[in-house]
Chains A and B, each alone.
Chain A
Amino acid sequence: MTEPRISIRFNGEMKEVPMGTTIAKLLEQSGIRTKLVAVEVNLEIVAHEEHAAHQVQAGDTIEVVTLVGGG
């Protein structure tokens, strides 16, 4: 039996992930160092402490941002 998959928008691109995927899992699979980013789901920030518990939902728009050089 294959796990049901859901579709999300992840940093501007459509992506399919297994249902029940957490933010922590999503970052890990994308090779992102969690400590260096902030995550926003549907324009609401998901605090670092909640990454492990927060499951993404079908149709979520997720933005992951980090620091870059700037003036």
Chain B
Amino acid sequence: MKSLRWSAAAEKLGDAVWERGRPARIFRFQPRDSIASESEREARGPNSSRTHLVTMQDQLKIGDHTLTTRLIVGSGKYDTLEIMRDSLAASGAKVVTVAVRREKMYDRLGQNILDYIDPKEYLLLPNTAGCYNAVDAVRVAKLGREILRALENPGANWVKLEVLGDSKTLLPDPIATIEACKTLVDAGFQVLCYTSDDPIVARRLKEAGATSVMPAGSPIGSGQGILNPNNLRIILEYLKEGDPDYPVIIDAGVGTASDVSVAFELGADGVLLNSAIAHARDPIRMSIAMKHAAIAGREAYLAGRIPKRLYATASSPEEGVITTRPYTSDRTPKVDERNSARDA
């Protein structure tokens, strides 16, 4: 009974807010509710499903991996490895991206990043950053897999595929990305594809077998946030159609905490970011902000926002007011006028 009521409420909101393609959200409520058995739900009492939504572990499944936090953080561009280590811990993230580079034979301190990231504690996500063609990307992905295999890190079976088109914009080369994605899928990789916010390319990548499609909010490291939320809405609608749990992660462009919240409010399953933390004045503090922004955005999405209206709606009762009003009551907009204003 409870779950029916929630579905109905979600459907009503879904119609009222913004766009079509909301069934994805309605769908989400049912599996969450079904985690608790009938008897458990009865035992918790009438308001329990409300609490249940907030307190249940909100897991994200990407291929073989189940994540308990939805923020994925990069490990690049920190001033020191100590600040990186502490920032990763403060962000609460369990997945950390890493790059593959030539071993420096004469590192001044003989330090390796793995002295600061415990591969037993974090799930590593190797990337193919710096690759400008499919052959290089496949080569780098395989080298990354070999390192993670030796470390016995479960991240050995996945890769963040990034095939760039030019070094000024760092925009992805969509044709090379699709080609590399197919090759890596055939080689047994679970491929998380960095791409632009083009819905057609996103769909092609999913068709090519990508485990997750990761559209950029704006160019890498630009801090411009989410430039085209409408494209992201379309991508979410397309990729989740008939497949509501297909993971879509917003990768790149985040500048500050509110960008993360916006991404989750749009319905993204995860957010991947690096520069916004690493180059903040205080990276550790920004990590904390990002962690809370992710929770805020995700919970707001699951809770279902109210529709936007042109006119105000009083929160206190209209009945029983003892004061006078500066206008006659028939000048108050009628409900149907409010509704039409909302859609304008």
Residues of A within 8 A of B101 (CB): 65-68
Question: Most chain-B CB neighbours within 10 Å: which of A12, A36, A37, A69?
Answer: A69
Q: Of A30, A36, A47, which contacts B114 at CB under 8 A?
A: A36
Residues of A within 8 A of B8 (CB): none
B100–A67 CB distance below 8 A: yes
Q: Give Cα A33 to B144, complex, Å.
A: 16
Is A4 part of the binding interface, using a Cβ–Cβ cutoff of 8 Å? no
Q: Nearest residue in A to B143 (C-beta to C-beta)?
A: A38
- Minimum CB–CB distance from A34 to chain B (whole Å) comes to 8
Q: Nearest residue in B to A51 (C-beta to C-beta)?
A: B150
Q: Give Cα A34 to B97, complex, Å.
A: 21
Residues of A within 8 A of B151 (CB): 35-36
B77–A64 CB distance below 8 A: no
B98–A38 CB distance below 8 A: no
Residues of B within 8 A of A68 (CB): 76, 98-101, 113
Q: Nearest residue in A to B220 (C-beta to C-beta)?
A: A71
B114–A45 CB distance below 8 A: no
Q: Give Cα A16 to B99, complex, Å.
A: 29
Interface contacts (Cβ under 8 Å), in number, total: 102
Residues of B within 8 A of A70 (CB): 74-76, 97-99, 127, 129, 274
Residues of A within 8 A of B77 (CB): 69, 71
Is A60 part of the binding interface, using a Cβ–Cβ cutoff of 8 Å? no
For the residues of A in contact with B, the DSSP-based class is: mixed
Residues of A within 8 A of B81 (CB): 69
Residues of A within 8 A of B97 (CB): 70-71
Residues of A within 8 A of B105 (CB): 11, 30-32
Residues of B within 8 A of A34 (CB): 150
Please, what's the 1-or-0 string for A28-54, where 1 marks a CB less than 8 Å from any CB in chain B?
001111111110100101011000000
Interface size class on chain B is 35 or more
A12–B146 CB distance below 8 A: no
Residues of B within 8 A of A37 (CB): 103, 147
Contacts A71-B74, A71-B77 given: A11-B99 contact, CB under 8 Å?
no
A45–B147 CB distance below 8 A: no
A67–B146 CB distance below 8 A: no
Is B275 part of the binding interface, using a Cβ–Cβ cutoff of 8 Å? yes
A36–B275 CB distance below 8 A: no
Question: Most chain-A CB neighbours within 10 Å: which of B76, B103, B127, B146?
Answer: B103
Residues of A within 8 A of B129 (CB): 70-71
B150–A35 CB distance below 8 A: yes
Name 21 interchain pairs, CB-CB below 8 A, sorted by A.
A11-B103, A12-B102, A36-B147, A37-B147, A45-B143, A47-B146, A48-B146, A64-B102, A65-B100, A65-B102, A65-B143, A67-B98, A67-B114, A67-B147, A68-B98, A69-B84, A69-B98, A70-B98, A71-B74, A71-B97, A71-B220
The 10 closest A-B pairs by CB, nearest first: A70-B99, A71-B74, A71-B274, A38-B146, A69-B76, A69-B75, A67-B98, A64-B103, A38-B143, A70-B76
With A38-B147, A63-B102, A70-B99 known, 7 other A-B pairs at CB within 8 A are A37-B147, A38-B146, A64-B103, A65-B102, A67-B98, A70-B129, A71-B97
